[in-house]
């Protein structure tokens, strides 16, 4: 009798296991079946771990591009994920209206601490209402007219990098990694704009406090699990995991919270804080003042706004600067052409004025081309297809499918940008009639598109258009070993090892040494 009961229980346990396995397989088959008409690699249609493995190679952008070249504009990247490469579809996937919401892909980009949990920001908020609440109180701060008010602060940082490059490298021809110093500049500018003080990277010539390393490790950790967001919760965003090993985001949060607490203490001690800071407000001042004026804005919004400046505001701009200088230096013809335009426009030295450089045609083309060939973000911006589904590039995409487009792939779409879309050629932005130019402008996905377009777009362009003319006019720069330049995709592009030598160009010099 006992033996029979044991057999019955065992059979019951086995039945449950079998039922679970069958249910799982049926669910997976249903997911696979609903997108069976979308071409793509078989393995990717069965599990998200395939596209996760692409990210581990640090060359996911190249794999994505090869897949689109093989299968077309619509490719299945996962069991429930479809990638699009045609710029004509941008307005469908990323519309100005509500409709296609973000999915959990963005959650791993939220810094985590044990006490505060994972804090969303303007970029990583999934709920549209929360996104609007985070965005609109501060959106005007990121307008070009407001950003240009920071020019005096940017000029201070330009003076520092000018002094450091002269003293450390130009005076005796020492070889150095130009990418490091461009990143130092981008971070010190953002530190000045946000906290009214530089991080000190330029003066020290190194990663002060390990901030750059912490952000790099944070992105390196986040990128793979963005393809399987549930792993982020299991491996990193919980108290047990955090107690065993602090995440890189914890160190970043610690820095930001300390800066906010210090400033808020000053604000609480000074009843006239707003008046006292008037005319010299940095971003943190504006965030605190905005929150104090509106009781409906919770205090944690200040943290969310500030962490965005630290995480995305410097790394992304640094990528554009590195891309621009690498391609100018490896394509001397374009460097000569840019230098000639700057000289003809009588741009001030050593520090160009925004009023002098903001509307120069060839400089605009150079910046656009840099944004096109190597966008800072190089994985698809994912969205969820709404009820009713979508028709894109001749394919029907059913509701609840995850859909997205990679800036790297879209920006190299040959029917839009030409058969030489793989090459650096700024002139493409000056060619063709108004319709052709508009098509190219609208097809650029570097900053995203639609209602969720990057809030810091104007900051990036402002910094780049200040720094690049400064370098081109004041220095002769030559690459020592172009083959050592490295670009790796960890959500942000990581560019390094641009070994260079520089010398100061005499004030009367008008020709670049190329």
Exposure on the CB side of residue 401, measured as CA atoms within 13 A: 33
**Residues 151-178 as b or e (16 or more Cβ within 10 Å = b):** bebbbebbebbbebbbeebbeeeeebeb
Phi, psi of 100 (to 5 degrees): -100, 105
47 vs 227, 229, 302, 503, CA distance in Å?
10, 13, 38, 53
The answer to whether residues 316 and 189 touch, using CB atoms and an 8 Å cutoff, is: no
Contacts of residue 149, Cβ cutoff 8 Å, sequence gap at least 6: none
- Calculate the dihedral angle through the C-alpha atoms of 48, 53, 54, 56, rounding to the nearest 10 degrees: 130
Phi, psi of 490 (to 5 degrees): -125, 55
* 404, containing H or E segment: strand 402-405
* Alpha-carbon gap, residue 490 to 379, rounded angstroms: 9
Q: Is 454 annotated as a binding residue?
A: yes
The answer to whether residues 31 and 401 touch, using CB atoms and an 8 Å cutoff, is: no
Residue 183 CA, chain-centre distance (Å), reads 14
Exposure on the CB side of residue 116, measured as CA atoms within 13 A: 18
Token reading at 369: 């081309």
Give 381's strand partners. Answer: 405
The CA-to-CA distance between both ends of the chain, in Å, stands at: 93
Beta strands in 313-393 (DSSP E): 381-384, 390-392
* Alpha-carbon gap, residue 496 to 484, rounded angstroms: 8
CA angle in degrees (0–180, nearest 5) for 256-467-375: 70
* Alpha-carbon gap, residue 363 to 384, rounded angstroms: 37
Token reading at 33: 């079946």
CA angle in degrees (0–180, nearest 5) for 418-420-422: 115
In this structure, the number of other CB atoms found within 10 A of the CB of residue 91 comes to 12
501 vs 157, 172, 268, 467, 469, CA distance in Å?
21, 9, 49, 18, 18
Enumerate the known binding-site residues for heme. Answer: 454
Enumerate the known binding-site residues. Answer: 454
């Amino acid at each position: 009798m006992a033996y029979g009961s044991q057999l019955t229980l065992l059979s019951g346990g086995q039945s449950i296991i079998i039922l679970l396995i069958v249910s799982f397989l049926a669910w997976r088959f249903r997911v696979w079946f609903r997108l069976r008409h979308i071409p793509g690699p078989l393995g990717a249609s069965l599990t998200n771990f395939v596209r996760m493995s692409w990210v581990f190679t640090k060359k996911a952008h190249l794999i994505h591009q090869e897949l689109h070249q093989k299968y077309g504009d619509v490719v299945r990247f996962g069991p429930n994920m479809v990638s699009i490469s045609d710029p004509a579809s941008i307005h469908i996937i990323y519309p100005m209206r509500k409709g296609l919401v973000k999915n959990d892909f963005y959650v791993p980009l939220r810094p985590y601490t044990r006490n505060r949990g994972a804090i969303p920001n303007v970029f990583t908020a999934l709920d549209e209402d929360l996104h609007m609440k985070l965005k609109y109180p501060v959106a005007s701060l990121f307008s070009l007219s407001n950003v240009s008010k920071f020019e005096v602060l940017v000029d201070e940082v330009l003076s520092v990098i000018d002094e450091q490059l002269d003293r450390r490298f130009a005076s005796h021809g020492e070889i150095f990694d130009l990418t490091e110093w461009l990143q130092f500049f981008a971070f010190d500018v953002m530190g000045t704009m946000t906290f009214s003080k530089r991080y000190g990277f330029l003066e020290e010539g190194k990663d002060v406090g390990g901030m750059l390393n912490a952000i790099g490790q944070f992105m390196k950790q986040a990128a793979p699990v963005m393809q399987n967001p549930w792993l982020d919760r299991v491996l990193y965003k919980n108290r047990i995991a955090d107690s065993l090993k602090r995440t890189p985001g914890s160190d970043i949060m610690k820095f930001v919270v300390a800066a906010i607490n210090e400033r808020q203490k000053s604000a609480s001690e000074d009843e006239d804080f707003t008046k006292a800071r008037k005319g010299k407000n940095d971003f943190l001042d504006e965030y605190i003042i905005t929150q104090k004026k509106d009781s409906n804005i919770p205090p944690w919004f200040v943290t969310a706004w500030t962490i965005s400046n630290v995480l995305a505001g410097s790394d992304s701009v640094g990528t554009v600067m590195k891309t621009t200088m690498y391609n100018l230096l490896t394509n001397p013809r374009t460097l000569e052409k840019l230098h000639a335009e700057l000289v003809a426009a009588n741009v001030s030295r050593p520090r160009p004025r925004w009023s002098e450089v903001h509307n120069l045609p060839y400089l605009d083309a150079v910046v656009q081309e840099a944004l096109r060939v190597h966008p800072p973000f190089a994985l698809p911006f994912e969205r969820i297809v709404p009820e009713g589904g979508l028709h894109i590039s001749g394919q029907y995409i059913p509701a609840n499918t995850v859909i997205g487009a990679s800036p790297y792939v879209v920006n190299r779409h040959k029917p839009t940008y030409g058969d030489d879309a793989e090459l650096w050629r700024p002139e493409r932005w000056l060619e063709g009639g108004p319709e052709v130019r508009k098509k190219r402008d609208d097809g650029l996905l570097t900053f995203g598109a639609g209602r969720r377009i990057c809030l810091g777009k104007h900051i990036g362009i402002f910094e780049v258009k200040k720094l690049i003319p400064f370098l081109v006019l004041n220095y002769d720069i030559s690459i020592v070993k172009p083959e050592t330049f490295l670009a790796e995709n960890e959500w942000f592009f990581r560019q390094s090892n641009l070994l260079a030598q520089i010398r100061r160009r005499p004030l009367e010099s008008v020709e670049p040494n190329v």
